[in-house]
Amino acid sequence: MTILLLNGPNLNLLGTRQTSVYGATTLSEIETLTRSHAEAAGYKLDALQSNHEGVLIDAIHSAKGKSQGIILNAGAYTHTSIALMDAISSVELPVIEVHLSNIHAREPFRHQSYIARVAVGQIAGFGPDSYILAVDALVAHLSEAAS
Ligand code: CA2
């Protein structure tokens, strides 16, 4: 039983720049924390970050048959990418949308999410804890779906 954790553009820079907006925790630390939490719930975690839309789309396609669900921070592609939205629809896997910042309290262009239209739900504004909450949300969703 595996969860795929996908992070999109610029999130590889976490903890190195703009720490007042996105915090001091690195992506590698977030992946480690998220993996520990997933493993405590009985799931393996595969993690991938890419700055390229097509790589993220390929990873979503490849998750079919390998992962039970996806935790996705699509970064700025959240607000622009119909292609990522269509990829999620095509694989019919549950996706929890995650953001470090509260996108609804920021600039108007961040309020729109194409991912939200096809996600089970969205968690935003809790910094690295958003990812921990996303594991809990996905695990609860998967166990409800199995019962
Ligand atoms: O709050 C989030 O998690 C976002 O997905 C982060 C994206 C932003 O475009 C979304 O609106 C909300 C940006 C990620 C950029 O990450 C950086 C990290 C360190 C330094 C520079 C950028």
Per-residue model confidence as pLDDT tens digits over 74-98? 999 999 999 999 999 999 999 999 9
Q: Rounded mean pLDDT of 20-24? A: 92
The share of the chain scoring above pLDDT 90, in percent, equals 95
pLDDT, residue 117, reads: 98
Could you write out the DSSP letters of every residue in the chain? -EEEEEE-TTGGGTTTS-HHHH-S--HHHHHHHHHHHHHHTT-EEEEEE-S-HHHHHHHHHHHTTT-SEEEEE-GGGGGT-HHHHHHHHHHT--EEEEESS-GGGS-GGGT--TGGGTSSEEEESSTTHHHHHHHHHHHHHHHHHH-
pLDDT, residue 131, reads: 98
Q: Does the beta carbon of 101 sit less than 6 angstroms from any atom of ligand 1?
A: yes
* pLDDT-derived band at 47, boundaries 50, 70, 90: very high
Domain containing residue 79:
2-146
Domains in the chain: how many in total?
1
Q: Rounded mean pLDDT of 33-53? A: 98
Q: Does the beta carbon of 26 sit less than 6 angstroms from any atom of ligand 1?
A: no
CATH of the domain at 70: 3.40.50.9100
Q: Rounded mean pLDDT of 23-43? A: 98
Q: Which of 37, 99, 114, 131 is catalytic?
A: 99
Q: Rounded mean pLDDT of 92-119? A: 98
Of all protein residues, the one whose alpha carbon is nearest to atom 6 of ligand 1 is: 75
